[in-house]
Amino acid sequence: MTTDQLSSNKQLVEDFIQDLFTKGDLGAVDRYLDPAFVNHDPPFPGIPDGPDGMRQAAATMRQAMPDWRSEVERLVAEDDIVVEVFTARGTHQGKLMGVPGTGRTITLRGINVFRVQGDRIVERWGRLDQLGLLQQLGLVP
């Protein structure tokens, strides 16, 4: 794979994350994800593993934290894989995981692994600091 293609893949992933999660543009799902996209690790129970699941996850976060933003700390690309390390933050204003808004800043760190094919994202694997999120929401000590 050429350096240009690796750079293009990294830009695709960064644009997707910024458009969907930071800007709250739910149409980003249709622009960046392949219709056969598979999310191997949906972030919330009951969310589907396809494109609509990513749309639902973003909508859930934006409804609970309208100022939700994701800061990409590192992007690494090799072959058709792009790894993103990020920290996301927002002010907890609406219900999230059954917890009403608290007005506190919620921070979520994580790592995503995306597989890119052509100009679309076709797969995602990820690990989010879910324990940290539950602690910030007061659901676990």
Whether the per-residue pLDDT at 140 is higher than 80: the answer is yes
Q: Which domains does the chain show, CATH number per domain? A: 3-136 (3.10.450.50)
Whether the per-residue pLDDT at 1 is higher than 80: the answer is no
Residue-level length of the chain: 141
Whether the per-residue pLDDT at 96 is higher than 80: the answer is yes
Whether the per-residue pLDDT at 46 is higher than 90: the answer is no
**pLDDT-based confidence at residue 132 (cuts at 50, 70, 90):** very high
Q: Rounded mean pLDDT of 59-71?
A: 96
The pLDDT score that the predictor gives to residue 73 is 96
**pLDDT-based confidence at residue 43 (cuts at 50, 70, 90):** confident
Q: Rounded mean pLDDT of 88-92?
A: 97
Q: Which residue pairs, CB below 8 angstroms and at least 24 apart, start in 6-15?
A: 6/77, 6/78, 7/77, 9/77, 9/80, 9/82, 9/116, 10/75, 10/77, 10/82, 12/82, 12/116, 12/119, 12/121, 13/75, 13/82, 13/84, 13/114, 13/116, 13/121, 14/72, 14/75, 14/84
Whether the per-residue pLDDT at 130 is higher than 80: the answer is yes
Name every residue whose Cβ is closer than 8 Å to that of residue 92 and which is 6 or more positions away in sequence.
64, 65, 99, 101, 102, 103, 104, 105, 106, 136, 137
Q: Model's pTM, two decimal places?
A: 0.93
